[in-house]
Amino acid sequence: MTTQPPVPPAPGQPGAGAVPTCYRHPDRETYVRCQRCERSICPDCMRDAAVGHQCVECVQQGNKTVRQAKAVFGGRAVTVPRVTWTLLALNVLAYLAEIADQQAVITGFAMHSAAVGLLGEWWRLLTGAFLHAPPGGGLGFTHILFNMWALYAIGPELERRLGHLRFAVLYLLSALGGSVAVYLLGIAAVGASGAIYGLFGALFVVSKRLGYDPRGVVWLIAINVALTFFIGLSWQAHLGGLVVGAATAAAFAYAPEKNRDVVQWAAAAGIFIVLMLAVLVLPPFAAIAG
């Protein structure tokens, strides 16, 4: 009677005398198993878990079911305020462009009611909010320094509360609101003050919504409004930015939980449409007075 020699177990499979090997690397011996699927894993395939280790595939599968952290009022949670840093960089780059060729930049991109209304140069409504008083002017470097300090001081906090995209929309709508107010009630202006005042208004709304004491924000707004008239700055841009920023923040902060994203973006789109219609339909006050 003849007998067949025993067949050795396949690598990685249980059996008498079998040496366990990694399921992804059969040539590597290991005595560690994944805590979820219990397959053998080598050090290259181990991922730390709450208890023991998991394999790469189980970790990837688990990540698909993990709920993404969100900002307080929607959007993904913010760890680095990238929009704030980007806006700071854009303002500084625009100022450097002014230093390089002040005449061309101011002439072609500053907010001016006649250029927008008569020539249809709509880009000025936004580009003017990234320019500042040129060096050697009445305000000199203090104009951009104050605005960028304010953006640096309160921008990151609002961005963390609102999320990247909502904060960017808040800033741009506030800037646009300031320019529209200049178009309707003034003549010309440069500066990010409309957007900054929009952030002031948003900070007040967010503080109220979260139950914080808003008196510090009220004092901040009051002091800056007083400086606006004392120094002789563009009160139109400040007022327009403040109102639009507060309205946009209210739409974001007070949107109901149900269909919150839809309500927020519909409100933001509505504010944008109202601003555009104001420029299209309403004549500038200077033209009426003239």
Arithmetic mean of pLDDT, 269-289: 86
- Residues 170-207 have pLDDT tens digits of 999 999 999 999 999 999 999 999 999 999 999 999 99
Contact call for residues 213 and 207 (beta carbons, < 8 A): yes
Burial zone of 119 (CB within 10 Å; 0-12 exposed, 13-18 middle, 19+ buried) = exposed
User: Which entry of 113, 174, 193, 207 is annotated as an active-site residue?
Assistant: 193
Contact call for residues 253 and 207 (beta carbons, < 8 A): no
Alpha carbon separation from 2 to 5, 7, 111 (Å, rounded): 10, 15, 100
143 is catalytic: no
Which band of pLDDT confidence, cut at 50, 70 and 90, is reported for residue 118? confident
Alpha helices in the chain (DSSP H): 56-65, 82-100, 102-109, 113-117, 124-127, 142-162, 164-185, 193-209, 215-231, 235-253, 260-281, 285-289
| Helix orientation angle between 235-253 and 164-185, rounded to the nearest 10 degrees | 140
193 is catalytic: yes
10-27 exposure pattern, b = at least 16 Cβ within 10 A, e = fewer: ebbeeeeeeebbbbbbee
Q: What is the structure's pLDDT at 76?
A: 87
Contact call for residues 192 and 107 (beta carbons, < 8 A): no
- Residues 136-171 have pLDDT tens digits of 766 778 889 999 999 999 999 999 999 999 999 999
- Residues 59-75 have pLDDT tens digits of 888 766 555 677 889 88
DSSP conformation class of 126: H
Q: What is the structure's pLDDT at 166?
A: 97
Number of Cβ within 10 Å of residue 247's Cβ equals: 22
Which domains, ranges and CATH numbers included, belong to the chain? 10-66 (no CATH), 82-289 (1.20.1540.10)
pLDDT of residue 283 exceeding 80: yes
- Residues 79-110 have pLDDT tens digits of 999 999 999 999 999 999 999 999 999 999 99
- Residues 219-253 have pLDDT tens digits of 988 888 888 877 778 899 999 999 999 999 999 99
